[in-house]
Amino acid sequence: MKKRTSTLGGRAALFSSAGLAALSLTIAAPAFAQDQEDTDEAAADESIADDTTETFDGAILVTGTRIARPTLSSPVPVTTVSAAELTDNGDTSLGDALNDLPSLRSTFSQGNSTRFIGTAGLNLLDLRGLGTSRTLVLVNGRRHVTASPGDYLVDVNTIPVDLLERVDVVTGGNSAVYGSDAVAGVVNFVLKRDYEGISLKGQAGVSSRGDRENYFLAGVYGKNFADGRGNVAVAVEYAKSEPLYFRERDGLTGAYSGRCQYNNVGDSQADEGPFGSDGIPDLEPVCGIRNGSISDGGTIGGLGQGQFLRFDSNGNIFVDVPDQFLPFSGNVIGGNGSTLRNTGQLAAGLERISVNLLAHFEISEAFVPFVEAKYVHVDALQEGQPSFFVGGPDSFFGGPAITCDNAFLNAQALSTLQSFGLCATPTGRIPLTRFNIDFGGRGEIHDRDTYRIVAGVEGTFNEDWRYELSVNYGRLETKLDSLNNLLLYTQDGNNLAGFNLAVDAVRDVNGNPVCRINVDADPNNNDPACVPINVFGFGAPSQAALDYVNTTGHREETAEEFDILATVSGDLSQLFELPGGPIAFALGGEYRSEKAYSAFDELTASGATFLNAIQPFDPPKLTVKEAFGELSIPLLANVPLAEELTVSAAGRVSDYNNATGTVYAYNVQGIYAPVPDIRFRAAYATSVRAPTQADLFSPQSQNFAFIADPCDQATGAINTDPNRVANCAAAGVPTTANAALVAACAGTSFAVALGDPYTNCTARTSSTGFLSGGNPALVEERGKSLTVGVVVEPRFIPGLNFTVDYYRIKVNSLISTLTAQTIINQCYSDANGISNQFCANVNRDPTTGLFIDPATISGGVNFAAQKTEGIDFDLQYNHTFDNGHRLRFRGIATYLIRLDNFLNPVDPEVPNRQRSELGDPKWAASTNFNYDFGDVDFTWSMRYLGPQTKSAYENAFSYIGRCPASGVTGSSGGTCTPGELTRLDPANADQYEDPTFPVKIYNNFRLSFDVEGGYNFYIGVDNAFDVQPPFGQLGTAGGDPYDTFGRYFYAGFRLEL
């Protein structure tokens, strides 16, 4: 099953270049120094030079180690992507371009960043699908301040685009070199060191539908001085992406026409058994879907299958009978229910301004001061769903009921309600369900300011030893305005306020609508400011009423990072040398502190509004002191059958000021090249991820979820586990169902719980509150990784290189918060009864047996695990023709062998398979073809996504699980030993007629022209053939890699002086 749902992946294929030696410079393996005799080899050598970062004295540094190496000879897989490759497309986001790499997942891109409060516009990286918190992001090999206070998550939108030289992606644990969080690997953004000249760039793009416009302007000025001993570079950038709303893509989202999705059309799964299949697909593709029980003007349901009372814009009631009722879902086709898509965004609006400064000056070889400084301001605009209520404000908000004497209920509506058996008395209750679009969308406006300065000194001594001492300070300041947040209670929670007062409207002695509290018998509860609100029909509320019931929430956040890093590296050539050369080393120490703060205004934090109650977050400062070292031992070199044989090792000790305490990480690596053409490499590493301040100290915050009651007889849930009947009875849950209610609701999705006091089927469709927060007792996650690979650079085919790398990563003691559903299920499924850790955190009403808020209380626990393994392929070919034209080709692919989560706290050995599920295809690839004619440059790039399952892999294909008590593996009749891990038949083989989404291939084209005077003009199109996402996919949640924007055109220029 999915750890993530769907998301929008990057649109453009990654590898495009415009007249630069870009394709060959990003090898996932080292290139090797050798004699070059022709133009092809010279071109390859030039690309290698582009691909390296030189220190002030010319030594080459490779991401993954702090030892300066003479070549890109790395024992770990390093995929390097040049700035040209990342920016030569329609994207203005580095993160979305990087997400096209097969090794990265589209977990947090521009298309899905609005899933959580306060995250709109962020772009976070997720290497190997192990999570954004297990991918360490660096800038010039140093840490960067977080974009999420309390966590270590770097927003790559803050990286300067036009000062970027390349991005290195290192696979496997690297905590021994860089510290915590480098579990899946490292992504290092390397900036240009000696930029000289003036560069101006402008770009604009728009989709073929005329939406999602984006703009990019950048200027860079760099100057060498003092005979090249010093350099200063300043870069200013402006980027803007317009928001894209669901309502702008009705054909894709069904904002007005009704959404398209897989839906149950009549075949029930209830009688199929755990491995059952009757051959009839449970879910079929359906379009025109609306929600029957809710509408934008107000709905009253529970009147019989497929029949609803709805309010029109004049406040009159009409009987709505949709064309088709879709059982087991509550959805309908036709009619006037809400599509749930006429608000919300496919992508947030984003505006970014950044200013960056890079400078250094060589006073002497032993003393070279340097500075890196930046300021980035980001504005993000998010529009989400509006407020709503289900079954009446009394059942959803705990406020007063809408009664039949409501001032805004007209005579026609009252008469209609009476004809359906409602409103027999003036105090009768109207169970209205409403999607409050006319209240205004619940939006968020984000202002983020990021400051970072790195100041330090570097130099050489003892001939070729190098040192660096740097101080790194970063600060994040964010302000969030939460718009159209419905006010419900007073701040102390003791009294009703806002909407709960305004909706209870009656007429005064003069026949005017007033709030009931102002004319009741209690003069002490009056609110002279109360404006009665009309909720009968879309557009009915007055602006004065909306001003009274809506409030704007405010949140302020800060995060600070302070890091001191000292390193020294060199070799022991002055003492001795081994047959392969001198031993190289690196030693260092690091001190880091993290501060965080986040708080909503007191009213919002109290839970008095529609927004969840979120308490202030002010954790203790996190500090860590670290020491580390590396050794590289060249055993042999330049001898028969041993062109190179080198082993290396690294270690780090870290001391945290929390429950983590002292932790260790190490790696061992080796390189063996029998001949210059072939090189083998291997690395084994341990890694750690220390719990963050958010993991440890997040306050208990309110959330909501739709919880299926495991004690429910009406749905048969109580019979799916042999322990539930006894445990539910022991917990005091009523053991007799309300037979009349169960019968009335049969065949609908609104099955009721035992003892349900309501009289209609929709009473239990609202979500249930629960609390979750931090756990100060958490300790570190621990990872182990193994990489083994081969690099082939045949001398008889100049310009060709090919790498294959196998990787395997395992993370233990993974910090995971159990879902409310998991806690409740485990409570009542425990073979030892209800005296367990899960039931201790479950809350029910002792009279009705219903869950009460909070239904559960939970925090993070070190119990889960992740395992992944796969094979990376990287093929590159460069060729320069006699006429000066250059051909470049590159293809990168990943074959995912395994990606499993182990999230069951009761049975942690059972894998939850992710491979082939949405976001983690078995095969993913990117290719690039570039031909440079000189003044004209053409690039064609492609991105390939293999088949992915439409739901949990376990539903459609055989999987590893516990043998059931029956000893039968499934519908095939195979046998197994109860309780053992074995291969089981698909859990629901007929869920879909075809269980997988098809292959998707995206093609992108770009053409650029050089013009005299240093100008370059270019035009391009991403997703040229307008490949649409699979049926029902939008790309607005985490995991979905498909492009949603469609065909996208862009054009721009660059001036180099």
> 698: Cβ–Cβ under 8 A, 6 or more apart, which residues?
150, 617, 773, 774
Q: Detail the DSSP E strand segments found in 609-641.
A: 622-639
Q: Beta strands 104-108 and 124-127: pairing type? A: antiparallel
User: In the numeric block, which tokens belong to residue 388?
Assistant: 């709503």
Whole-number CA gyration radius for the chain: 31
Which run of H or E residues covers position 285?
strand 283-291
SS3 sequence, 826-858?
HHHHCCCCCCCCCHHHEEECCCCCCEEEEEEEE
Nearest C-alpha neighbor of 445 from the set 476, 477, 483, 485: 483
The Cβ of residue 1010 has, within 10 Å, a number of other Cβ atoms equal to 19
Instruction: Return d(Cα 379, Cα 376) in angstroms, integer.
Output: 10
Phi, psi of 745 (to 5 degrees): -95, 0
Instruction: Return d(Cα 803, Cα 30) in angstroms, integer.
Output: 9
Instruction: Return d(Cα 1055, Cα 1013) in angstroms, integer.
Output: 8
CB 30, CB 680: distance < 8 Å: no
Half-sphere exposure of 75 (CA within 13 A, CB side): 26
> 774: Cβ–Cβ under 8 A, 6 or more apart, which residues?
619, 694, 695, 696, 697, 698, 699, 859, 860
Q: Detail the DSSP E strand segments found in 516-572.
A: 550-571
* Cα–Cα separations (whole angstroms), residue 937 to 88, 240, 1005, 1015: 12, 27, 11, 13
* Cα–Cα separations (whole angstroms), residue 961 to 277, 369, 822, 921, 954: 19, 59, 17, 21, 9
User: In the numeric block, which tokens belong to residue 175?
Assistant: 């905590």
- Whether the ω angle into residue 431 lies within 30 degrees of 0, i.e. cis, is no
Give one DSSP letter per residue of 941-961, joined into a string.
Answer: EEEEE--EESS-HHHHS-EEE
Instruction: Evaluate if pTM is beyond 0.95.
Output: no
Instruction: Return d(Cα 953, Cα 3) in angstroms, integer.
Output: 12
CB 765, CB 882: distance < 8 Å: no
| The pLDDT of residue 726 | 86
Instruction: Report residues of the chain scoring pLDDT below 50.
Output: 1-52, 56-58, 70-72, 270-271, 747-766
Phi, psi of 544 (to 5 degrees): -65, -40
Phi, psi of 96 (to 5 degrees): -65, -35
**Helices H / strands E in the chain, number of each:** 15, 52
Cα three-residue angle 186-192-194, rounded to 5 degrees: 145
Instruction: Return d(Cα 738, Cα 741) in angstroms, integer.
Output: 5
Give the three-state DSSP class for 24.
Answer: helix
The Cβ of residue 322 has, within 10 Å, a number of other Cβ atoms equal to 19
Instruction: Return d(Cα 355, Cα 236) in angstroms, integer.
Output: 5
CB 890, CB 23: distance < 8 Å: yes
DSSP conformational letter for 994 = S
Half-sphere exposure of 29 (CA within 13 A, CB side): 29
Give the three-state DSSP class for 630.
Answer: strand
| The pLDDT of residue 170 | 93
Q: Beta strands 851-880 and 768-773: pairing type? A: parallel
CB 706, CB 767: distance < 8 Å: yes
Which residues on neighbouring strands pair with residue 650, listed in sequence order?
630, 667
Instruction: Return d(Cα 142, Cα 567) in angstroms, integer.
Output: 12
| The pLDDT of residue 753 | 42
> 1037: Cβ–Cβ under 8 A, 6 or more apart, which residues?
4, 5, 6, 7, 112, 115
Nearest C-alpha neighbor of 374 from the set 357, 397, 350: 357
> 283: Cβ–Cβ under 8 A, 6 or more apart, which residues?
262, 263, 264, 265, 991, 992
Instruction: Return d(Cα 85, Cα 228) in angstroms, integer.
Output: 29
User: In the numeric block, which tokens belong to residue 514?
Assistant: 């007033």
Instruction: Return d(Cα 568, Cα 469) in angstroms, integer.
Output: 9
pLDDT in tens, 651-710: 999 999 999 999 999 999 999 999 999 999 999 999 999 999 999 999 988 777 777 788
> 1012: Cβ–Cβ under 8 A, 6 or more apart, which residues?
none
Instruction: Return d(Cα 592, Cα 143) in angstroms, integer.
Output: 10
> 123: Cβ–Cβ under 8 A, 6 or more apart, which residues?
93, 94, 95, 96, 108, 109, 110, 113, 155, 156, 157
User: In the numeric block, which tokens belong to residue 416?
Assistant: 């209609």
Tokens 């009406």 identify what position? 714
